[in-house]
């Protein structure tokens, strides 16, 4: 069941940077995306069309997309929360969008200020527009293995949400362990339940590393045939609505794991470590990535 090829979806330039205290300019984010592409990554989240009042780190996402408009070799999804965000993304040339929902009612209210049902209605409008325009749609479900407010989350609820997003037109659904509480058996069971609704090929796994379980969870899902993994260079990220949650699993750590398993992911580990080193200096804190720390110590 283990695949011989894994597609990495690099979420650092959006999901990672949006939680950093030190914002990067649009020009710096363009340079980062170009560097990640040079390292072999082809699926890179480029930004978010939410209000800069709520997420100032993503201001200028239109500039980022416009600057990268010639990169037809890259998939550059951008997060859109509503119809207005979608329209702004299209003006900037978006060819792929992402919608973002939660498996927990309380988290949905805290994160996007509406119920799960209302969020689905909002996404339905966006997805209808995107399908008519031939725009690819990615769907995110957060808190799939636990909620900071409600605790455990019903797997059946997550599977139902995955099915609803697929019905709306999402060609891929990313299962997000937002607070990083999942363990391998639970991650595997969740993925199987969602795969029974939408198919394994239409899923990506998105683990945060709060409890140090992200790589173990990824391996558990790879072993049942998952072929798409979200990761953030340097382990960037976190969640402003979940106190104490760590960043995304680091891209370098995932690449090191995959190389050890003999699985191709088309990413250059040395280049990723160099990108992380530069980012760490710019952001003013050491990398969360264990691989980057080890490799940079050896270089020193």
Exposure string for 201-230, b = 16+ CB within 10 A, e = fewer: ebbbbbbbbbbebbbbbbbbbbeeebbbbb
Asked if the structure places residue 253 within a domain, the reply is yes
Q: Is the pTM of this model over 0.75?
A: yes
Per the document, the length of the chain is: 300
Asked if the structure places residue 2 within a domain, the reply is no
Which burial class, exposed, middle or buried, applies to 23 when counting CB atoms under 10 A from its CB (0-12, 13-18, 19+)? middle
Asked if the structure places residue 188 within a domain, the reply is yes
Asked if the structure places residue 93 within a domain, the reply is yes
Asked if the structure places residue 207 within a domain, the reply is yes
Q: How far apart (Å, rounded) are the C-alpha atoms in residues 202 and 209?
A: 23
Is residue 239 flagged as an active site residue?
yes
Asked if the structure places residue 1 within a domain, the reply is no
- Which pLDDT value is given to residue 149? 87
- Which pLDDT value is given to residue 121? 83
Q: Model confidence over 58-98: pLDDT tens digits?
A: 999 999 999 999 999 999 999 999 999 999 999 999 999 99
CA distances from 240 to 19, 148, 247, 278 (A): 7, 11, 11, 24
Residue 230 has which token pair? Answer: 């979200």
- Which pLDDT value is given to residue 235? 96
Domain count, the chain: 1
Beta strands at 203-207 and 172-177: parallel, antiparallel or unpaired: parallel
Q: Model confidence over 106-154: pLDDT tens digits?
A: 776 776 777 877 778 888 999 999 999 999 999 999 999 999 888 899 9
137 and 127 Cβ atoms separated by less than 8 Å? yes
> What CATH number is associated with residue 198?
3.20.20.70
Catalytic site residue from 127, 170, 194, 239: 239
CA distances from 256 to 38, 66, 115, 259 (A): 18, 33, 39, 5
- Which pLDDT value is given to residue 125? 93
CA distances from 167 to 116, 146, 196 (A): 16, 24, 14
- Which pLDDT value is given to residue 104? 78
- Which pLDDT value is given to residue 117? 79
- Which pLDDT value is given to residue 67? 98
Domain that holds residue 237: 7-299
Residue 138 has which token pair? Answer: 């990615």
Q: What is the pLDDT along the chain (300 residues), one digit of tens a residue?
A: 799 999 999 999 999 999 898 999 999 999 999 999 999 999 999 999 999 998 999 999 999 999 999 999 999 999 999 999 999 999 999 999 999 988 877 776 776 777 877 778 888 999 999 999 999 999 999 999 999 888 899 999 999 999 999 999 999 999 999 999 999 999 999 999 999 999 999 999 999 999 999 999 999 999 999 999 999 999 998 665 555 566 899 999 999 999 999 999 999 999 999 999 999 999 999 999 999 999 999 998
- Which pLDDT value is given to residue 119? 78
Asked if the structure places residue 198 within a domain, the reply is yes
- Please, what is the end-to-end C-alpha distance for the chain in angstroms? 40
Mean pLDDT, the chain, rounded, equals: 94
Asked if the structure places residue 105 within a domain, the reply is yes
């Amino acid at each position: 069941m283990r695949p011989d090829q894994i597609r990495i979806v690099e979420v650092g330039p959006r999901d990672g940077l949006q939680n950093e205290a030190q914002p990067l300019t649009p020009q710096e984010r363009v340079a980062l995306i170009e560097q990640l592409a040079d390292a072999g990554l082809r699926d890179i989240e480029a930004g978010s069309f939410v209000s800069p009042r709520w997420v100032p780190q993503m201001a200028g996402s239109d500039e980022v997309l416009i600057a990268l408009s010639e990169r037809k070799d890259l998939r550059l999804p951008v997060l859109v929360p509503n119809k207005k965000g979608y329209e702004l993304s299209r003006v900037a040339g978006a060819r792929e969008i992402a919608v973002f929902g939660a498996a927990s009612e309380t988290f949905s209210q805290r994160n996007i200020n509406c119920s799960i049902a209302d969020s689905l209605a909002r996404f339905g409008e966006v997805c209808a527009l995107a399908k008519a325009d031939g725009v690819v749609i990615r769907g995110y479900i957060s808190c799939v293995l636990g909620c900071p407010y409600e605790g455990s989350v019903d797997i059946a609820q997550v599977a139902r949400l995955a099915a609803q997003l697929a019905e709306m037109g999402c060609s891929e659904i990313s299962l997000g362990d937002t607070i990083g509480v999942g363990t391998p058996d639970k991650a595997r069971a969740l993925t199987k339940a969602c795969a029974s609704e939408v198919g394994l090929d239409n899923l990506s796994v998105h683990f945060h590393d709060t409890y140090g379980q992200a790589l173990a969870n990824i391996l558990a899902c790879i072993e049942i045939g998952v072929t798409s993994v979200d990761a953030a260079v340097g382990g960037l990220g976190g969640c402003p609505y979940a106190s104490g949650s760590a960043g995304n699993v680091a891209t370098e750590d995932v690449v090191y794991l995959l190389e050890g398993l003999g699985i191709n992911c088309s990413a250059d580990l040395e280049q990723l470590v160099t990108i992380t080193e530069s980012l760490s200096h710019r952001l003013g804190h050491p990398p969360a990535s264990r691989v980057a720390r080890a490799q940079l110590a050896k270089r020193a």
